[in-house]
Amino acid sequence: MSNGILVFIEHRQGAINKTSFEAVAAAQQLGAGTGQEVTAVVLGADPQHANEVTGFKLAGVVSAENPKLADYTPDAYADAFEQVVRARNPAFVIFPHTYLVRDFAPKLAARFGKGLISDCIRMKAEGGSVVFARRLFQGKMDADVTARGEVTAFATFQSGAYRGDQAERGGGASVESLPVEVGEVRMQPEAPFQEVKQAVDLSKTDVIVAVGRGIKSQENIALAQKLAELLGGDIAASRPICDAGWLPIDRQIGSSGQTVAPKLYIALGISGAIQHLVGMKNAGTIVAVNKDPEAPIFDIADYGIVGDLFEVVPTLTDEIQKLKG
């Protein structure tokens, strides 16, 4: 019989990724709803990071160790984690939906004849039944999903789905060192780096006016720029705008770009894909202008205008000008 819940703790460049604590919170809730214990799994060359999570309420911490786990590679991580899963035969394995997890966890699950129930935003675990909710169509639909089959189910949770500070603390879990075998590693990583020294730090500005694909051309950005200046703020963008080179990459908001929390965030012609939302959803007041009433950006907006940004922005700029006198 499979039993218990494993939760994956990710570390990169010497530090535990904070979304791991969100995964711990999710796993604990799943544990409470299904009456199962939660064990953390840390992969590494040594137990250093395993020792950093013993303060959570956990049945234990497995430190799967091999020198080849010093630097992340999907080959080494899949080999190592596979042995932990085989040794434990858990009912569930829970991960944070990070880029690193996206890279190796599907490979791991495939070794058990499965995929991941990936990028979940909610979960309801009651009386043994577990329903996961995930987004479809870039945020335009939600789906309730249940795991099929008897053996281990693998699920990942979107960043922000659970709160890391709500992961329960406990009485000092013990670390079990588990030497694991790692086969051939077929990729060699070089050191991670940042493309450019970030010239602008958008995390400090109070007002951000962000443009998305709805802005249509580079010249049109001037419209948004004018509004930003009037509000004493900065211009920013969704990814496609920076990919196109219309604004430099250090203006990109989202999971691959900057994370910001200004007092006011005005999203112009941005659909609201999750990778954008994670970078700005903690803004104080969010305004969205979009011609599509179903655009997911409206889900998190305080104020919304359904309409053409080329009509809205000039009027808005004039009106604010008037108010400012």
User: Which residues, 6+ apart, have CB-to-CB distance to 28 below 8 Å?
Assistant: 38, 57, 167, 168
C-beta of 29 vs 73, nearer to other proteins:
73
Angstrom distance (rounded) from CA 269 to CA 164: 32
Q: Does 96 bind ligand FAD (CB under 6 A)?
A: no
Q: Does 298 bind other proteins (CB under 8 A)?
A: yes
C-beta of 65 vs 82, nearer to other proteins:
82
Among 193, 199, 204, 217, binds other proteins (CB under 8 A): 193
Q: Which long-range contacts (CB under 8 A, 24 or more apart) does 138-147 make?
A: 138/271, 138/273, 138/274, 138/296, 139/271, 139/272, 139/273, 139/274, 139/277, 139/296, 139/299, 140/294, 140/296, 145/117, 145/120, 147/92, 147/117
Residue 298 Cβ vs ligand FAD, minimum distance, rounded to whole Å: 10
Q: Does 296 bind other proteins (CB under 8 A)?
A: yes
Q: Does 292 bind ligand FAD (CB under 6 A)?
A: yes
Contact pattern from residue 256 through residue 275 relative to ligand FAD, giving x for each residue in contact according to CB under 6 A and a dash for the rest: xx-----------xxx-x-x
C-beta of 36 vs 271, nearer to other proteins:
271
Part in contact with other proteins (CB under 8 A); list of ranges 26-34, 36-44, 52-60, 188-196: 188-196
Q: Are 26 and 94 in contact (CB under 8 A)?
A: yes
- Binding partner at 64 among ligand FAD, other proteins, none, C-beta below 5 to 8 Å by kind: none
Q: Does 52 bind other proteins (CB under 8 A)?
A: no
Q: Which residue is nearest to ligand FAD (CB)?
A: 254
Q: Does 201 bind other proteins (CB under 8 A)?
A: no
Q: Does 212 bind ligand FAD (CB under 6 A)?
A: yes
C-beta of 103 vs 229, nearer to other proteins:
103
Q: What is the distance of C-alpha 2 from the center of its chain?
A: 28
Structure tokens at 89: 């035969």
Q: Are 264 and 233 in contact (CB under 8 A)?
A: yes
- Binding partner at 263 among ligand FAD, other proteins, none, C-beta below 5 to 8 Å by kind: other proteins
Handedness of CA 225, 227, 229, 231 (dihedral sign): negative
Which has the closest alpha carbon to 291: 229, 214, 207, 217?
214
Q: Are 41 and 8 in contact (CB under 8 A)?
A: yes
Among 239, 250, 283, 298, binds ligand FAD (CB under 6 A): 239
